[in-house]
Structure 1
Amino acid sequence: MPGASRSGPRLSRTDRKAGRAQEQQQGTDVAALEQTRATIEAAAKMAVRLQDGVRERAVTHRLQSQAAPATPAPSHTPPPGVQQAPGRTPSGGLA
């Protein structure tokens, strides 16, 4: 009896097509999942590189600001002995 070895009911042609479509859909789902995983992984690597760059710039900025000598703030008053231009006030307006 050749049909006796089957454990389930015999599938119709429509059921077999539906089963193949479902298998193809699952294959597509796996490919989409893999693509999503690769995209997320690439984005994570990019974020790490960006963060490393931010840290490097912060360290460089700190080192430069520590090494730079402290310069006094520029004064708005002229040094002693400097003559103002005729017709001008010390604040720069006309006399």
Structure 2
Amino acid sequence: MTDVAAVELTSRTLEAAGAEMAARLQAGVRERAAARRSSLKSAAASPPSAQQPVQPAPGRTPPTGGVA
């Protein structure tokens, strides 16, 4: 195999690998987007849950949400 043929083969191999990686990444993006849409639909369909107030540990002051 000549040097030129080896370079061509390497180039085609790298292009094919890059195209495969791009396709896998795009499939993952689509899969995550579909899962996100599905979870948003199920979250919108379920009633909102009541949040329980935070109880401080014994001997501690209640959290204020500010910077201490």
Note whether the superposition's TM-score is higher than 0.5.
Answer: yes
1:46 aligns with 2:20: no
- TM alignment of 1:1-95, pairs within 5 A: 24-74=2-52
Q: Unpaired segments of 5 or more residues in structure 1?
A: 1-22, 77-90
> Please, what TM-score do these two structures have when normalized by structure 1?
0.52
RMSD between aligned alpha carbons? 2.4
Letter of the 1:67 counterpart: A
Cα distance in 2 for residues equivalent to 1:64 and 1:55: 14
Tell me the secondary structure at the aligned position of residue 73 of structure 1. coil
- Map of 1:79 onto structure 2: none
Question: Cα offset for 1:70?
Answer: 1.6
The structure showing larger relative contact order (alpha-carbon pairs under 8 Å, at least 6 residues apart) is: 2
Identity of aligned residues (%): 7
Cα distance in 2 for residues equivalent to 1:24 and 1:39: 22
Q: Point out the structure with max Rg over C-alpha.
A: 1
